[in-house]
Structure 1
Amino acid sequence: MNDTRPARTASLSRLAAGLVALAAVALPALAQAQDEPERKALKVCQDPNNLPFSNVAAEGIENRLADLFGKAMGLPVQYYSFPARLAFIRNTLRYKLPGEDFRCDIVMGVPVGFDQVSVTKPYYRSTYAMVYAQGRGLDDVKSVQDFLALPPERRQKVRIGLYDRTPAAAWLNKHGLVDQGVPYQMMSPDPAQYPGELLEKELSAGKVDVAIVWGPIAGFFAKRVAEPRLTVLPMQSEPGVRFDFEMAMGVRHGEREWKQQVEKVIETQRAEITAILRDFRVPLVAEGGTLLP
């Protein structure tokens, strides 16, 4: 099976969607034990412009989760912001000058299997989604299978926007749709770029007819974009293409007690976590990839 993972990131997007896309090629991380300090704050590593996951105005999914975790732990929430690029973990979670504290202690969204951090137990599983603008000739498409069943002469006219290094590319290749793909760069060097641009700007403006993005991005911007209205069709994994991934949190390797503390909150606050995800319209899927109601 093709296991192309969603770079909050971390694209899954740059951090979640981006991290998800890059998890398969992450560099090995050291696992040495470390002395664990007393936590006086929940120090969160975040991308400052990464909606729907995080931003400096604390409007993202992970900002809401950080508030929840801070309250559960009895700790004030502090952020260290750094644009999510290939060196995000090195410049945030791992960065420490002699005699100083680490810049931050937790990344709120990383894909399971991302070995640059010590990954907690997962707190949700989502999937990629196909998104189209209503009123532009695709309103009769109610599922991904409906799209694939369109007459060839109609389907072949559809321009499909996708981020590079995501499962969407493998899916287009499998279904003979490569020529219709319009690729966009996931890890742009432009810090002003954010994961939802493909929907909020390109799709909305009619530059593409369909977009395939990580589910949390799809759900958030379908809610946020008022005109045109966007329809979200979650995609199921299929032979050769994996679309659904588990997301967890990341701490430094060797900080076992801190990881256990974070995992305890994941367990005790699962209902509240799920409520936050649903409020952001994140498509949630079960273990086998079945979409949850």
Structure 2
Amino acid sequence: MREKIHVRRRLVFAILALTVGSMEKASAQDGEAPNFVVCADPGNLPYSNQAGEGFENKIAQLLAADLGKNLQYFWFAEHKNFLRRTLSAGLCDVVISVPSALTMVTTTRPYFTSTYVAVMRADDSRGFSSFDDAWLKDARIGLQLVGNEGVTTPPAVAISRRGFNEHITPFPMWAEDNSANPQGQIIEAVADSRIDIAFVWGPFAGYFGRKFGDRLAIKPILQDSQSRDLMFAYPMAIGVRKDAAVLRDKLQSALDRNQEKIAVILNDAGIPTIDQSSVPGSFGPEIKPSVQ
């Protein structure tokens, strides 16, 4: 009789364990877990860093508070197959900014759109109107090296197609020696007259160009007359896993409720944004080229 009772108890405990496990799994899938786990780069301003100074950090704090969750991070360098080794691997719930056209994740609606820009000294009378400007042929041009993922930025393609390759100075996007803010080196080179013009992704230009004030002119690039297949402006959204549509919808509601606060965060970080409807053509998937 005692053996039967023990067997029944074991069965009850087993059933309870399975039930609790199923509930926890369903809760996580529905976005009801107590923690809001964000995958982010520990040193990639203006996006994120471990000190919480990036705009992604601040948006993550805002969303976690709105959803009543505890904010946690899983840190990983963005130039090392970031999405595959973080979000897709189940190590976090969200990535705060990804291109909205990225097919390997499910995204909210875009919450901002930015573009590649041309950065020059404000007192340079030549100005930049398009990649067809004749003076570019002999100009000292700065371009950022994306990394080892085989992705080339749209401005680099436009420059290469015109054969303006003789006077290009490459600048690192990532620092293997852990030096601070390598993305800002190209902006400093313009300000210091080491190069004439830099073609940079807008958030980097806006953030690192702030300290130079009106000494720099930053002009958005919306299209290239000779390269209609190149996209320069991209809408950015929050990314979740493919099976996390419920969490995506909750995040969308939180974004809608906090739209004005998010706009202030982006503005304070110097992020140049544009009206998505003003951009010609369609949007491609590449903008933070390391995110894959």
Range of TM-score over shorter length: 0.7 to 0.9
The question of 1:218 aligning with 2:205 is answered yes
C-alpha separation in 1, matches of 2:165 and 2:233:
21
Which residue of 62, 70, 94 corresponds with 1:68? 62
**Is the CA contact (8 Å cut-off) linking 1:199 and 1:221 kept in structure 2?**
no
Cα 1:213–1:114 change in 2 (3 A) is: same
C-alpha separation in 1, matches of 2:103 and 2:199:
26
What amino acid sits opposite 2:62 in the alignment?
Answer: L
The residue aligned with 1:12 is none
- Which secondary structure does the structure 2 equivalent of 1:248 belong to? strand
The residue aligned with 2:148 is none
Which residue of 145, 164, 167 corresponds with 2:129? 145
The residue aligned with 1:110 is 98
- Which secondary structure does the structure 2 equivalent of 1:231 belong to? strand
Post-superposition offset of 1:111? 0.6
Q: Per-residue displacement from partner, 1:255-281 (whole Å, max 9, x unpaired)?
A: 111111111112222222122212222
Post-superposition offset of 1:288? 3.6
Post-superposition offset of 1:219? 0.8
What amino acid sits opposite 2:50 in the alignment?
Answer: V
The residue aligned with 2:109 is 121
Post-superposition offset of 1:163? 2.0
Which residue of 151, 156, 170 corresponds with 2:157? 170
C-alpha separation in 2, matches of 1:113 and 1:188:
28
- Which secondary structure does the structure 2 equivalent of 1:178 belong to? coil
Cα 1:274–1:195 change in 2 (3 A) is: farther
**Is the CA contact (8 Å cut-off) linking 2:45 and 2:54 kept in structure 1?**
yes
C-alpha separation in 1, matches of 2:172 and 2:209:
21
C-alpha separation in 2, matches of 1:267 and 1:130:
31
C-alpha separation in 2, matches of 1:147 and 1:87:
31
What amino acid sits opposite 2:156 in the alignment?
Answer: A
Q: Per-residue displacement from partner, 1:100-130 (whole Å, max 9, x unpaired)?
A: xx43211001012222322221111111111
What is the TM-score normalised by the length of structure 2?
0.73
C-alpha separation in 2, matches of 1:254 and 1:84:
22
Q: Per-residue displacement from partner, 1:228-282 (whole Å, max 9, x unpaired)?
A: 9332111122342321111011111101111111111122222221222122222
Cα 1:126–1:266 change in 2 (3 A) is: same
Q: Per-residue displacement from partner, 1:193-241 (whole Å, max 9, x unpaired)?
A: 7462333554344432211111111111111347x93321111223423
C-alpha separation in 2, matches of 1:232 and 1:112:
24
**Is the CA contact (8 Å cut-off) linking 1:219 and 1:283 kept in structure 2?**
yes
Post-superposition offset of 1:84? 1.1
- Which secondary structure does the structure 1 equivalent of 2:256 belong to? helix
Which residue of 216, 219, 235 corresponds with 1:233? 219
The residue aligned with 1:26 is none
Alignment coverage as a number of residue pairs: 244
C-alpha separation in 2, matches of 1:145 and 1:200:
19
The residue aligned with 1:184 is 171
C-alpha separation in 2, matches of 1:56 and 1:187:
16
C-alpha separation in 1, matches of 2:212 and 2:186:
8
The question of 1:242 aligning with 2:231 is answered yes
**C-alpha RMSD of matched pairs (Å):** 2.7
C-alpha separation in 2, matches of 1:116 and 1:58:
27
Listed as ranges, the matches of 1:252-291 within 5 Å are: 252-289=241-278
The residue aligned with 1:207 is 194
What amino acid sits opposite 1:145 in the alignment?
Answer: S
What amino acid sits opposite 1:73 in the alignment?
Answer: L
**Is the CA contact (8 Å cut-off) linking 1:244 and 1:289 kept in structure 2?**
no
Which runs of no fewer than 5 residues in structure 2 stay unpaired?
A: 1-24, 146-151, 281-292
**Is the CA contact (8 Å cut-off) linking 2:144 and 2:186 kept in structure 1?**
no
